[in-house]
Chain A
């Protein structure tokens, strides 16, 4: 499989501050990246889809001004949670899709996730 990294793996921030989460595809070019959030004991909920060089497409109910997504290159996407509040505390998972030599088809690979706690 392919490798997707996320940084940081855990972050604690104070209410009102902004937090940036990075997602990198390490060994393939990610034409599309996805950002999910997952509350405890729940499924993954897609927040937005971003294609390299284009504006992200947000899912219904996700505030684009609060969750800023940048996909400036084929290997890096960032999610910035602006003016974070305790209700933003969650597990954020990125996923990348692209073509990796040696693998069949364009699969979707997940990062290890970032646990955000807003105090």
Chain B
């Protein structure tokens, strides 16, 4: 069965600093996808970045990058040059190849301080 673990309930970071949000996963399927979503206080789920299990390079999308360490089963999200608007809940999620459902981690509340 799939399992996603986010061990940081909350993170506090100074504006303009980089921040790493941890995510570990477990699955028996060799083919899977990993996702990160941002959920601001409004509640909408905003897709940030995707990493496929067979992708050779770490995914990057603007200030977001995914530090994918397959052997360790970790998929940490790195946000560079943090901004006040980055304050939100962040969820890591995964989906096995061929599976329909997306399984979410517990989430990390990120607060950016001015």
Contacts and interface: CB of A to CB of B under 8 A. Distances in A.
Nearest to A34: B101
Contacts, number: 45
Contact of A1 (B43, B47, B104): B47
Contacts of A97: 100
Contacts of B56: none
Interface string B83-114: 00000000100010000111111110000000
A42 B9 CA distance: 10
Interface residues of A, number: 21
A108 B104 CA distance: 13
Interface residues of B, number: 18
A19 interface: no
A34 B45 CA distance: 13
Contacts of B102: 34, 46, 95, 108
A107 B101 CA distance: 12
Given A43-B91, A43-B107, A115 B43 contact: yes
Given A43-B106, A43-B107, A49-B100, A107 B47 contact: yes
B28 interface: no
B101 A112 contact: no
4 tightest A-B CB contacts, nearest first? A110-B45, A113-B43, A112-B44, A43-B104
Interface of A: 1, 32, 34, 38, 42-44, 46, 49, 91, 93, 95, 97, 107-113, 115
Interface of B: 35, 37, 42-45, 47, 50, 91, 95, 100-107
9 contacts: A34-B101, A34-B102, A43-B91, A43-B105, A49-B100, A97-B100, A107-B47, A112-B43, A113-B44
